[in-house]
Amino acid sequence: MTFDQIVPPMTPAQILRWYLDAGVDETIGDEALDRYALNPRVSPAIGARHSDDAPHRSAVPSPIAPQTTPFTARASSSAAAERATAAHLAEQCQTLDDLKQAMEAYDGCALKRTCQRTVFADGNPEAAVMLIGEAPGADEDRLGLPFVGASGKLLDRMLASIGLDRADTYITNVVPWRPPGNRKPEPTEVELCLPFITRHIELVGPTILVFLGGAPATALLNRHDAISRLRGRWFDYASAGLPHPVPAMPTFHPAYLLRTPHSKREAWSDFLSIRKRLGSHEEKTWPKPVR
Ligand code: URA
């Protein structure tokens, strides 16, 4: 009996259906990625191909010669090298354009291989308020702008409720590359991106920072408390390239508010505090909870 008799040939539509039924809901690359080939321990030939000067050097450790650097140590030293590269690149940037180009050119973060775009920022770099989210989602990745999906629409309404819009704010994310399947960025990915967001804040020099959700609050304030404990409080955000600390307010992420509408009351109070700090007493109505 041949394989075709056991599994009859499928039409392209049937193959797509099979993938959907198996839970695949998104394509993240035009070509299949052979992950075995990416690991030089599995495929020495590929390892050699990536090395210009060592066509004869096997990437597989000899069973006799002891492996002097364990795999985890090598992985962490290469992560440290990537962090150093990111820090060096970010430090060199004197303008937002420099920074955007540096981030677009940087390929030390694995997320870059699965996303479509580097989502840099939106809004007005001269604005007093800089809002920082976690990482782009599918809509942001497609359009190359932060907060353009469902949570972005809520963010726009939250800003409108205190008399602001995108042109009065500057919006970006800690991680500029979409994690596949909208998963949370790993701590190592956030750490790689830290030099870029730190420099981003320095180059914008905002009057007020607003951290949307726990991820930016943890990454930038180095506080590990839950967002429910951090929100609504003013912290001082400082970095070497800022002339003075910037007041920073963590608040709930709009995506969380979409799932938990009763928390909008607290987020509203945070936004009123932001408005007050900006020096205006305008108070408008808060968007009604979505039920
Ligand atoms: N969530 C974020 O944190 N950032 C975006 O840009 C979109 C959704």
pLDDT-derived band at 60 (thresholds 50, 70, 90) equals very low
Mutation pick for ligand 1 pocket among 132, 148, 151 (CB with most ligand atoms within 8 Å): 151
What pLDDT does 219 receive? Answer: 98
pLDDT-derived band at 4 (thresholds 50, 70, 90) equals low
What pLDDT does 44 receive? Answer: 46
Quick check: 201 pLDDT over 80?
yes
Return d(Cα 98, Cα 281) in angstroms, integer.
37
**Which burial class, exposed, middle or buried, applies to 291 when counting CB atoms under 10 A from its CB (0-12, 13-18, 19+)?**
exposed
Q: Indicate whether residue 151 lines ligand 1 (CB < 6 A).
A: yes
pLDDT-derived band at 28 (thresholds 50, 70, 90) equals low
Taking the centre of ligand 1 as the mean of its atom positions, its distance from the CA of residue 173, in whole angstroms, is 7
What pLDDT does 2 receive? Answer: 65
Return d(Cα 185, Cα 18) in angstroms, integer.
29
Q: Of 205, 216, 210, 204, which is closest to residue 174 (Cα–Cα)?
A: 216
Mutation pick for ligand 1 pocket among 130, 132, 140 (CB with most ligand atoms within 8 Å): 140
CB-based contacts of 9: which residues, under 8 Å, 6+ apart?
A: none
- The residue count of the chain comes to 291
Beta bridge partners of 211: 132, 250
Tell which phi-psi region holds residue 235, choosing left (phi > 0), alpha (psi between -120 and 50) or beta. Answer: beta
Q: Indicate whether residue 176 lines ligand 1 (CB < 6 A).
A: no
Q: Indicate whether residue 179 lines ligand 1 (CB < 6 A).
A: no
pLDDT in tens, 222-242: 999 999 999 999 999 999 999
Tell me the pLDDT of the chain averaged across its residues: 84
Q: Of 209, 205, 229, which is closest to residue 220 (Cα–Cα)?
A: 209
Quick check: 288 pLDDT over 90?
no
What pLDDT does 226 receive? Answer: 97
Q: Indicate whether residue 141 lines ligand 1 (CB < 6 A).
A: no
Quick check: 104 pLDDT over 50?
yes
pLDDT in tens, 153-184: 999 999 999 999 999 999 999 999 999 999 99
Q: Indicate whether residue 118 lines ligand 1 (CB < 6 A).
A: no
**Which burial class, exposed, middle or buried, applies to 101 when counting CB atoms under 10 A from its CB (0-12, 13-18, 19+)?**
middle
pLDDT-derived band at 65 (thresholds 50, 70, 90) equals very low
What pLDDT does 75 receive? Answer: 60
Taking the centre of ligand 1 as the mean of its atom positions, its distance from the CA of residue 247, in whole angstroms, is 22
**Once rounded to an integer, what is the mean pLDDT over residues 100-108?**
97
Q: Indicate whether residue 251 lines ligand 1 (CB < 6 A).
A: no
